[in-house]
Chain A
Amino acid sequence: MAGLELLSDQGYRLDGRKATELRKVQARMGVFAQADGSAYLEQGNTKALAVVYGPHEMRGSRSRTLHDRAVINCQYSMATFSTAERKRRPHGDRKSTEMSLHLKQTFEAAVMTQLYPRSQIDIYVKILQSDGGNYSVCVNAATLAVIDAGIPMRDYVCACTVGFVDETPLADLCYAEESGGVSSLALALLPRGGQIALLQMDARLHQDHLETLIEAAMTACKGVSKVLDQVVRQHLEEVSMLTGE
């Protein structure tokens, strides 16, 4: 198609990044005082807010209590002003439910739920501005919120969405690239052990390219983990300065 070139001959993408370059990540922890843990994360133009409550007693249907672990309850929603056209149905639509389920699976792999039997941990994520890589930004924001809440985790969970164009993997897709017919793959990784928490793809990709794409996704996730690490350490230092240690 003439016009939009996802990857130019010089190796630049639509927003001027190189193929393996991530968008700028800015994050803050402890945004809300009332919640047990909260975080705000921006990755390029995608902005997400994550809030964590818990662990507390099981609310709602008591029959879902697990006798040896905590139940993680995730809810993903998008603000009505987050997309180019006003979103008609922010909660309850199929995509949100699927995302919520993916987030739940991702965090069940990382959070040490065996320490809190018969209780519930709530993770609520809201996308304030959507510009591609929604799932990844949610996972990154939720990781920071869970750390802020003091819930023990095995490792950070870092996620990134990658795509494959012209035999090159592109890291951290934006909305134009995602909707431009790129085969996108979302990967959630526990960086230190190199363990994959969730891998999701619903596009067409040749089998031979899968290995390269996963490698590129893992490298991108490790890059994100470095940034998140810095944010957490800085927040810890700020908090200790305030409490006068």
Chain B
Amino acid sequence: MSPMKLCVPGDKLCSTEDCIPGTGVYLRHGYIYSSLAGYVLRKNEGEEVRGVVAAVGRRVRHVIQLPVISVVRETETQLLPDVGAIVTCKVTSINPRYAKVHILYVGSTPLKDRFRGTIRKEDVRATEKDKVETYKSFRPGDIVLAKVISLGDVQSNYLLTTAENELGVVVAHSETGVQMVPISWCEMQCPRTHNKEFRKVARVQPEYLQA
């Protein structure tokens, strides 16, 4: 790996004809400038730009691959939950209409600070939305995998949904305080007391199952 170049905010890196902007950079007047203090990273898996060239009456398509240029730092900058991102959150309170959660991880990156989110009753599952009871889907203290559907408006928090098979409760503790084992998409069982409790359980990805 060639020694990486240091750059500071405002450094002109290259023009938009040579590279495609990635993260940590911005465009101005057809040039790419750095917006962070860090190292310049040039990756060659850029987008393919197809150009159509008319040559001697024939149309020849040629593919140009532009490298992606981005600036990276040692420590990762704070990531914000974006629309469509899978987030890991902890349920803080429930209500017949919605459940309030604290977003802890975005993807696999932990957040330094907790963001607040809401899972509405109609976003808990995809079918039979009107018959959902939040008390039977989540409980305070559960760890839930959800997807961000909206950043919310001025008054509300991030809006999340668990209306997919892979989304829902991942870790839950029973009333006795023991971690429960999922038995179906809507039930979990306590290994000590064998009590079944209702939750909206996330389907475990096949790669994580030890058969």
Enumerate chain A interface residues (CB-CB to B < 8 A): 36, 54-57, 62-63, 65, 67, 112, 116-119, 147-148, 150-156, 190-193, 229, 232-233, 235-237, 239-240, 243, 245
Contacts and interface: CB of A to CB of B under 8 A. Distances in A.
25 contacts: A36-B112, A55-B78, A57-B116, A62-B155, A116-B80, A117-B80, A119-B80, A147-B8, A147-B36, A147-B37, A148-B37, A150-B36, A150-B78, A153-B10, A154-B10, A154-B33, A155-B9, A156-B8, A191-B10, A192-B12, A193-B28, A233-B8, A235-B37, A243-B74, A245-B4
Given A57-B113, A57-B116, A152-B36, A36 B154 contact: no
A92 B155 CA distance: 28
Interface string B52-81: 000000000000000000000111011010
A62 B154 contact: yes
A56 B6 contact: no
Contacts of B36: 147, 150, 152-153
Given A150-B36, A154-B26, 12 more contacts: A57-B113, A57-B114, A63-B155, A65-B154, A118-B151, A147-B8, A147-B9, A150-B73, A150-B78, A156-B10, A193-B28, A236-B6
A174 to B, nearest CB: 28
Contacts, number: 86
B6 A233 contact: yes
A233 to B, nearest CB: 6
Counting chain B residues whose Cβ lies within 8 A of the other chain, the interface size class is 20 to 34
A67 B154 contact: yes
A232 B36 CA distance: 11
A198 B73 CA distance: 29
A192 B26 CA distance: 14
Interface of B: 4, 6, 8-10, 12, 24, 26, 28, 33, 35-39, 73-75, 77-78, 80, 112-116, 151-155
A56 B78 contact: yes
B10 A152 contact: no
* Minimum-distance CB pairs A-B, first 5: A155-B10, A152-B35, A56-B113, A150-B77, A153-B9
Nearest to B153: A67
Contacts of A57: 113-116
Contacts of A119: 80
A236 B38 CA distance: 7
Contacts of A232: 8, 37
Contacts of B113: 56-57
Contacts of B6: 233, 236-237
Contacts of A151: 77
B93 to A, nearest CB: 17
A56 B103 CA distance: 12
Contacts of B10: 153-156, 190-193
A225 to B, nearest CB: 9
B115 A54 contact: no
